[in-house]
Amino acid sequence: MALTLEQAQRVGYTCLKALLRFAFMVANNLVAIPSYVLYLIVLQPLRILDSESFWYIEGVLFKWLLAMVASWGWWAGYTVVEWGDDVKAVSEDEAMVLVNHQATGDVCTLMMCLQDKGTVVRQMMWLMDHIFKYTNFGIVSLIHGDFFIRQGRTHRDQQLVLLKDHLEKYYRSRNRKWIVLFPEGGFLRKRRETSQAFAKKNNLPFLKHVTLPRLGATQVILKTLVAPQENGTPSAGDAVRKESKSKGLQWVIDTTIAYPKAEPIDIQTWILGYRQPTVTHVHYRIFPVKDVPAEPEALTNWLYQRFIEKEDLLTHFYETGAFPPPQGQTKAISREMTLSNLWLVAIQSFAFLSGGMWYCLFQYLYHCLF
């Protein structure tokens, strides 16, 4: 069927806009990521003299980088509406964030909706698939101290040991507060069939919108980060916790991401902006960590229950366009998440000015030396 003139113009405009957005994203990465690395190289003496101040500055730069990623979606009209508990109330406490995983855009969505949650973004740690280590953002995540986990049964035990060591070494020494993980261990479309087969074999609920979560990383995080007085196992001599005066992990934030018509946004869409403006819906439910069981079997059941509840939440959302009200209430309240365009422009301007400054500096040094 031949395109009408109006349709052809619309397609041409969409392609041109996508091309310009992609060029901007490439330029943004070429100035912002090297600038982040170079600033931290210059600040290495501060890391030796005052480690806390160094990681504070690194956290601010990290938050700005994530804000730049958020801006790509924000300016394309990919906004967020939030439901459920207000997580700003626990933004200064330590928390583990459990998120369902549908596409690469889930990470971008979190980068956006956590921007206005106080110090959360600059003090958070991400658990992500090891393949992200080799992306353009990999060097940033390595410096920040995120953990790259290798999936697969053959790697599982070793990865959990490495995760425990990583948390003990970096989590509190860098003053991290929130840790984000995707317990399903992969995208919904890739794991759904396997998960449903496992559920059928073990007489577990049949889930369509989420998959059954894996226990390993969640258990390691709870064992490593929950303060002894919280999990009922008093212990003396934990130097790291004592020195940091940390109360330990205090909350589990069960986070459910829902896309209209169950059509997730991937990173390509986020960058190129060819989809029409879309509102992503994010639901939060906060649990005190003292209510989370420590024993493996009980923890597994508790974690399964969270994802069964996610299934119910998503089923209700896809049928009605809204999440159900909390138990005991008649109406669900939503909150529109907003970002300041002026702030985003200021951060982008700082990135490009920084890139220009480093370029001029290296040009000057080159001429001085040669």
Give the pLDDT of residue 132: 82
The closest of 3, 29, 245, 296 to 137, measured between CA atoms, is 29
Give the chain's mean pLDDT. 90
Give the pLDDT of residue 242: 40
Which domains are delineated in the chain?
78-227+247-339 (3.40.1130)
Give the pLDDT of residue 231: 45
pLDDT digits (tens, 9 = 90+) for 184-211: 988 999 999 999 999 999 999 999 999 9
pLDDT beyond 80 at 312: yes
**138: how many CB neighbours lie within 10 A of its CB?**
17
pTM of the model: 0.90
Determine what percent of the chain is predicted with pLDDT higher than 70. 94
Helix 296-320 to helix 216-225 angle (10° resolution) is 120
Tokens describing residue 142 = 């390595």
CA distance 3 to 240: 66
From residue 203, alpha-carbon distances to 12, 130, 198, 268 in Å are 52, 32, 8, 38
Q: Residue 268 burial by CB count (10 A; 0-12/13-18/19+): exposed, middle or buried? A: middle
The three-state secondary structure class of 74 is helix
DSSP bridge pairs for 68:
none
Name the band, by pLDDT with cuts 50, 70 and 90, for residue 321.
very high
Give the pLDDT of residue 1: 56
Give the pLDDT of residue 230: 44
Give the pLDDT of residue 13: 84
pLDDT digits (tens, 9 = 90+) for 9-68: 788 888 999 999 999 999 999 999 999 999 999 999 999 999 999 999 999 999 999 999
CA distance 134 to 148: 10
Mean pLDDT of 317-328: 91
Q: Residue 320 burial by CB count (10 A; 0-12/13-18/19+): exposed, middle or buried? A: exposed
Q: Distance from CA of residue 346 to its chain's centroid? A: 23
Which of 1-10, 16-25, 158-167 shows the lowest mean pLDDT across its residues? Answer: 1-10
Half-sphere exposure of 225 (CA within 13 A, CB side): 30
Determine what percent of the chain is predicted with pLDDT higher than 90. 79
CA distance 349 to 343: 10
Give the pLDDT of residue 114: 94
Give the pLDDT of residue 184: 93
**227: how many CB neighbours lie within 10 A of its CB?**
18
pLDDT digits (tens, 9 = 90+) for 230-270: 444 434 344 334 444 568 999 999 999 999 999 999 999 99
From residue 61, alpha-carbon distances to 33, 279, 358 in Å are 10, 27, 16
pLDDT digits (tens, 9 = 90+) for 210-232: 999 999 999 999 999 997 654 44
Give the pLDDT of residue 366: 86
CA angle 45, 34, 143 (to 5 degrees): 55
pLDDT beyond 90 at 74: yes
- Tell me phi and psi for residue 145, to 5 degrees: 105, 20
Tokens describing residue 225 = 């980060």
From residue 230, alpha-carbon distances to 223, 224, 250 in Å are 11, 12, 8
DSSP state of 104: T
